[in-house]
Amino acid sequence: MKYTDPELIEHLASEYVLGTMVGKARLRFERLQMESYRVRQTVWEWEQRLYPMSEGIEDEVPPDSLWQGIQQRIHPQERQSEPVSWRSLLFWRSWGAVATAMVVVLAVMISLQSAPPGLGVSEDYMAVFNNPEAQPLWMISSDLQTGEVSIRAVNATAAAVDKTFELWMLPAGNTAPRSMGLMPVSGNKQKVVLPPALVEILRTAKGLAVSIEPTGGSPTGVPTGPVVYQAELIAI
């Protein structure tokens, strides 16, 4: 999955607002919101679009026989010797609202043509490098199945004269960083394909980093200039 895809962002934002995105997927998406203004804006737009639909929904109280009927279907051998406590009533009071929400979910899924599946175990990772003002400089997306890494410059400007930015993966443990290529500047995008050995290192890497190097990149294969940015790898 590529978070740079507008349709993907729309789809995930709708799932988040509707509450159908849960677990680790929801936590990852919340972390992405903190890093991306575009994602936050899309979530806000979905909130404005969907929340008014719930204003006219009234609580529905189910009949007294509903809970007993459910219990009898779950435990057909057991007889209810006494009335069921309605401490769980709070859950069932909103069943009408839940049904309405499911209708909205179906409408959303139909409207989002070719929508990708929800978040789960993935071979895709992304990272966002921000400046001190929390503005994104580069967005990195990688597909570990193909080894393809896409680097898109958002607000990154060129380094000093005779200098360039170089991207590094930070392997687990105390091993040296491994180069992933030079970084583009604003408005540009480039792709690199990693060899299988580097793909395996990236799979367990602690994160990514950017250093300032001489034109053409580090002459030694490890960072020679200052490391100016770091970013966490996020599974998507």
Q: What is the pLDDT of residues 25-74, one digit of tens each?
A: 888 888 888 888 888 888 888 887 776 655 555 556 666 676 676 667 66
Q: Is residue 227 part of a domain?
A: yes
Non-local CB neighbours of 102 within 8 Å, separated by 6+ positions = none
Q: Which amino acid, one-letter code, is at 228?
A: V
Total number of domains constituting the chain: 3
- Specify whether 156 is located in the same domain as 191: yes
Q: Is residue 208 part of a domain?
A: yes
- Specify whether 128 is located in the same domain as 228: yes
- Specify whether 221 is located in the same domain as 162: yes
- Specify whether 137 is located in the same domain as 213: yes
Instruction: Provide the residue range defining the domain that includes 168.
Output: 124-235
- Specify whether 78 is located in the same domain as 50: no
pLDDT digits (tens, 9 = 90+) for 181-209: 999 987 788 899 999 999 999 999 999 99
Q: Is residue 116 part of a domain?
A: no
Q: Which two tokens stand for residue 29?
A: 């998406």
Cα–Cα distance for residue pair 17/164, rounded to 1 Å? 41
- The three-class DSSP label of residue 162 is coil
- Specify whether 104 is located in the same domain as 132: no
Distances (CA, A) of 182 to 95, 138, 154, 167, 176: 54, 12, 15, 6, 17
pLDDT digits (tens, 9 = 90+) for 106-150: 544 544 444 444 444 456 888 888 888 878 889 888 888 899 999
DSSP symbol at 72: H
Q: What backbone phi and psi angles, to 5 degrees, belong to 183?
A: -95, 140
Q: Which amino acid, one-letter code, is at 148?
A: E
- Tell me, what CATH number does 220's domain have? 2.60.40
- Specify whether 155 is located in the same domain as 200: yes
